Structure 1
């Protein structure tokens, strides 16, 4: 899909989400074919002409000022992630600039691995393409049978949509799937010329109806914190909180899983940590066989 198509469908989908009542516009009982705003209403709210907004919604953001983009973000009631995505699409509309054809980082520095190993909670490092590149022992134990040292990187989006084990592991699979696609959509806006990312999106859209449907929604989201319900073969169901910490210079994110103090999940993590220590050799051998 071209940048123009992305712009058109993103703006159209956001316009459809805002009702006149939410925007503070009178309707006078007029009958509408859709619940969202009309183009001329968005133009009015953004302080531009209807013809100009129509041009924008057709995908032509090239040369649009940041002031107009900010006005458009307010008119469409965009959240922070959506606003940033709109600005990314506008930058991409000007065409590639020198240094813009970046690809996702595929390795972690030794120092980053030391950070992972020093943590007492399950933790892993992923790149913007959702490749899990490294993890600590407790994360390998938590992702038993899914993560293996000798089989990294593991692409999390590919696991979610193409591996039959995913719904049994992620108990809130629908939510996790929504968030994963929203994160990939945001990254596609930031890095429209990343060939590895576009190849991944193309593969998933071809092989998974669930992914393709979600991708068409054009939702974007920052991945900062989220409740995660997982199923582990040793401890059963476990309720955790995922936290994301960015490593800006590396283009990587550290994901940690924490539990409420004195909760069943805390006890489960302690058991997994003890088990991982006692069975380190067996775990390494089992993972190498996967």
Structure 2
């Protein structure tokens, strides 16, 4: 997944869309990781450590705010999140600022179950406002198997994976 300013999701492969949510299907304004984390209930059930993920996301927003204090779109985003998320308001008041470039996230995916994924955030050369976020699972682990299953489901549909009960019946 490629993230830009204000945690905007600029691009993602099919597996990333299936892992999180299909950001591409959302209106352009809604393709934002902070909006997903703080305003979409799916994020609270997806992340086993939601508080940590939310804190990391907020810290990245603060880091961006320090670099671009006059960004009107950032001001709008912070206002929206403050208005609609008690957790955002509480965490924003903590003034945590940091860049998270690697770590581990635990997810509970509705289709494939529990996953533990390592992540690495890579700067895009020539544009410090963009990062490439890469997730990997330990080889031969249950998480790797679950990720492979999600990838297989993703291959069956151009827009999203099908659950087994959604698979078309060949008998009609």
Shift of 1:152: 5.7
How far the C-alpha of 1:141 sits from its partner, in A, is 2.0
- 1:97 corresponds to: none
Structure having the higher strand fraction is 2
Deviations 1:41-100 (A, max 9, x none): xxxxxxxxxxxxxxxxxxxxxxxxxxxxxxxxxxxxxxxxxxxxxxxxxxxxxxxxxxxx
The verdict on how the C-alpha distance between 1:244 and 1:195 changes in structure 2, with shifts beyond 3 A counting, is: same
Higher gyration radius (CA): 1
* Whole-Å separation in 2 of the counterparts to 1:175 and 1:247: 25
2:122 to 245, 250, 253: 245
| Alignment counterpart, residue 26 of structure 2, candidates 125, 144, 151 | 151
Q: 1:255 to 1:173 in 2, by over 3 A?
A: same
* 1:96-115 equivalence runs, <5 A: none
Residue number among 211, 220, 223 corresponding to 2:88 in the alignment: 211
Match of 1:275 among 150, 153, 156: 153
Would you say how many aligned residue pairs link Structure 1 and Structure 2? 159
Distance 1:203 1:276 in 2: 32
| Separation in 1, partners of 2:113, 2:34 | 23
Asked if the contact 1:133/1:152 (under 8 Å) is kept, the reply is no
Unaligned residue ranges in structure 2 (runs of 5+):
163-172
Q: Quick check: 1:239–1:259 contact (8 Å CA) kept in 2?
A: yes
Superposed structure 1 runs of 4+ greater than 4 Å apart: none
Q: TM-score, normalised by structure 1?
A: 0.52
Residues 156-175 of structure 1: matches in 2 within 5 Å? 156-175=33-52
CA–CA distance in structure 1, aligned partners of residues 34 and 16 of structure 2: 17
Paired residue for 2:18?
Answer: 141
Unaligned runs of 5+ in 1: 1-123, 286-290
**Per-residue CA distance 1:238-257 (angstroms, 9 max, x = gap):** 11011101114232111111
Contact 2:18 2:161 in 1 (8 A): no
**Per-residue deviation, 1:282:** 6.1
Q: Does 1:266 align with 2:144?
A: yes
1:280, CA displacement in angstroms? 2.4
1:230 aligns with 2:115: no
